[in-house]
């Protein structure tokens, strides 16, 4: 162990003393091959891998950073699974969970003893600078992917760096290096075709500072902590939305909240109608990109989706129009969450006066079984009282505190304006 630390130190010193100070991928690989591990979630009964990712030594040398989603299964079933690491040289050992940053998808793990020299972290290099992602893709062994820094993405709440390199399953949780061999971030996700994402290392530094040495006492503590963090993140997100100016978006006779945050993107979703259609319909769907990984089975929260729908016709009579309008209003966004994850929705209906118009409004909430205080909120409102004009809006928030969602719905309605 001491020998390895010594070698790594010598290599780092050599790198720092080179005139340009820049390392190539080969050097970075050699420097860090003993400091990047495969992180495995193993079944206590069978001893076999249930999921894998990557991790690297940080902090005091006993700590290993990885992604929260790599070890998410342990949150749900800590009695069934445990976390372990294995190095390129075959070194392995069990790890305990020291800290979580659910919103940024980070986890800090702890070994009983020092496992190696910690990797130094560093701020993000300039946009376009080469960066190197290390990890264990597809359980095929340690490798390094070369790409460039695409900068911080503002549509993901500043928690993601765009990496123009190829991340593959199994590399999650591995370090991303600058050309001095310092970790500037943690591999987290990919959208394929050399579009990948990295969590900036400053969030890891914060996590190391905040984490306890002895980890969590019980499984319930873990779930409470996950819920607490998700709710804190969502409350903060909603506060930002409430504090911000909302640009307008025009949809026929309504002026509506438009792109209410840099994290939101709006798309025209209008269906193509044939020439024989005797009505017109327009649909706009806006959604954020703040997908917060909740636990195993790829469950995410943090969605903010709002969808507008306008329908009009000069040719249909009022009964025909309302038959169509009602059918379209009955379409619901599907949810695949089961009874073991969430409660039933509880819904209530009101007729609400908005900008001189009456909207038949429904508000529904359901709770997460394992995560106290966390709700999914669904709000819908349909225009009434017009013979040949229809409009409805659907607003969905997942993993939020119910009471925090109401001011957002209020602002939403206050920014909904009818233009005669």
Partner 1 sequence: MAPLILEIMTRSLHRYLPIENEVTTIGRALDNDIILSDPTVAPHHLKIIRYGDSSVEIVNLTDVNPTRINRYRQTSLVTEQFPVNLEIGRVHAQLLPHDYNVATTRPLAGGDRPGHLFGHISWAVVLVLACLVIGGLEFYLNSYNSIKWSDLFKYVLRETVLTIGAFVLALSILERLLVNRWEIKQLVTSISLMYLFYFFSAGCADLLNYLFTASWPATLFRFGWYLAIVPCAIALYLIHISHLKKSRSIVLAVLIASPIALPSILQSPELKTLLDDFSPTARYQNSLSSKNWHLRESISIESFIGQAQNLEPGEYAD
Q: In the complex, which residues of this chain contact partner 1 (CB under 8 A)?
A: 274, 276-279, 313, 316, 318-326, 329-330, 332, 334-339, 342-354, 358, 360-367, 369, 375, 378, 380, 382, 384-385, 387, 390, 402-403, 406-407, 409-410, 413-414
282/345 with CB nearer partner 1? 345
**Residue (267 or 350) nearer to partner 1, CB:** 350
Please, what is the minimum distance in Å from the beta carbon of residue 377 to partner 1?
9
Phi and psi, residue 17, nearest 5°: -85, -5
Q: How far is the CB of 297 from partner 1 (least distance, A)?
A: 14
Closer residue to partner 1 (CB): 29 or 254 = 254
CB 313 within 8 A of CB 390: no
Of 179 and 401, which has the nearer Cβ to partner 1? 401
In the complex, the smallest distance separating the C-beta of residue 277 from partner 1, rounded to whole angstroms, is 5
- Give every CB contact of residue 131 below 8 A, 6+ residues apart in sequence: 125, 146, 147, 148, 149, 163, 165, 176, 177, 178, 179, 184, 185, 198
Q: Which lies closer to partner 1 via its Cβ, residue 127 or residue 280?
A: 280
Rounded to a whole number of angstroms, the minimum distance from the CB of residue 399 to partner 1 is 14
Least distance between partner 1 and beta carbon 48 (Å)? 31
* 3-class SS string, 302-353: CCEEEEEEEEECCCCCHHHHHHHHHHHHCCCCCCCCCCCCECCCEEEEEEEE
What are the two backbone dihedrals, phi and then psi, of residue 162, each rounded to the nearest 5 degrees?
-80, 130
Comparison of 265 and 410: residue with beta carbon closer to partner 1: 410
Name, in order, each residue with C-beta under 8 angstroms of 205's C-beta and a sequence gap of 6 or more.
121
Question: Least distance in Å: CB of 284 to partner 1?
Answer: 20
Closer of 120 and 410 to partner 1 (Cβ): 410
Min separation Cβ 91 and partner 1, Å: 45
CA distances, 367 to each of 155, 227, 347 (Å): 27, 11, 12
Residue 398 CB, shortest distance to partner 1, in Å, is 13
User: Alpha helix locations (H) across 33-182?
Assistant: 72-76
Residue 202 structure tokens:
């400053």
CA 271 to chain centre: 29
Nearer to partner 1, 13 or 275 (CB): 275
For residue 141, is it left (φ>0), alpha (ψ between -120 and 50) or beta? left
C-alpha separations of 376 from 96, 317, 397 in Å: 31, 38, 6
């Amino acid at each position: 162990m001491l020998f390895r630390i010594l070698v790594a130190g010598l290599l780092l010193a050599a790198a720092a003393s080179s005139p340009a100070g820049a390392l190539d991928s080969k050097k970075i690989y050699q420097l860090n091959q003993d400091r990047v591990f495969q992180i495995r979630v193993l079944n206590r009964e069978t001893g076999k891998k249930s999921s894998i990712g990557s991790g690297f030594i940080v902090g005091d040398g006993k700590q290993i950073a990885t992604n929260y989603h790599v070890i998410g299964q342990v949150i749900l079933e800590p009695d069934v699974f445990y976390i372990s690491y294995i190095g390129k040289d075959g070194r392995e050992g069990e790890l305990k969970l020291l800290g979580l940053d659910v919103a940024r998808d980070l986890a800090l793990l702890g070994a009983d003893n020092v496992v190696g020299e910690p990797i130094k972290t560093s701020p993000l290099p300039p946009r376009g600078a080469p960066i190197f992602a290390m990890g264990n893709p597809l359980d095929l062994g340690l490798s390094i992917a070369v790409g460039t820094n695409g900068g911080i993405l503002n549509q993901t709440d500043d928690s993601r760096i765009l990496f123009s390199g190829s991340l593959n399953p199994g590399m999650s949780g591995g370090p991303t290096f600058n050309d001095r061999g310092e970790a500037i971030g943690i591999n987290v996700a990919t959208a394929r075709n050399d579009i990948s994402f990295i969590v900036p290392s400053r969030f890891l530094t914060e996590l190391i500072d905040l984490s306890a040495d002895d980890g969590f006492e019980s499984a319930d503590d873990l779930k409470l902590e996950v819920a607490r963090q998700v709710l804190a993140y969502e409350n903060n997100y909603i506060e930002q939305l409430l504090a911000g100016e909302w640009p307008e978006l025009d949809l026929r006779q309504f002026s509506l909240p438009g792109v209410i945050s840099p994290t939101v993107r709006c798309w025209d979703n209008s269906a193509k109608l044939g020439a024989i259609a005797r009505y017109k319909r327009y649909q706009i769907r806006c959604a954020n990109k703040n997908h917060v990984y909740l636990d195993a089975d790829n469950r995410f929260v943090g969605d903010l989706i709002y969808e507008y729908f306008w329908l009009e016709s000069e040719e249909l009579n009022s009964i025909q129009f309302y038959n169509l309008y009602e059918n379209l209003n009955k379409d619901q966004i599907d949810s695949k969450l089961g009874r073991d994850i969430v409660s039933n929705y509880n819904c209530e209906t009101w007729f609400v006066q908005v900008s001189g118009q009456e909207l038949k409004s429904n508000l529904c909430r359901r709770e997460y079984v394992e995560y106290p205080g966390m709700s999914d909120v669904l709000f819908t409102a349909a225009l009434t009282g017009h013979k040949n004009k229809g409009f409805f809006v659907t607003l969905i928030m997942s993993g939020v505190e119910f009471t925090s969602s109401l001011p957002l719905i209020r602002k939403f309605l206050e920014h909904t304006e009818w233009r005669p």
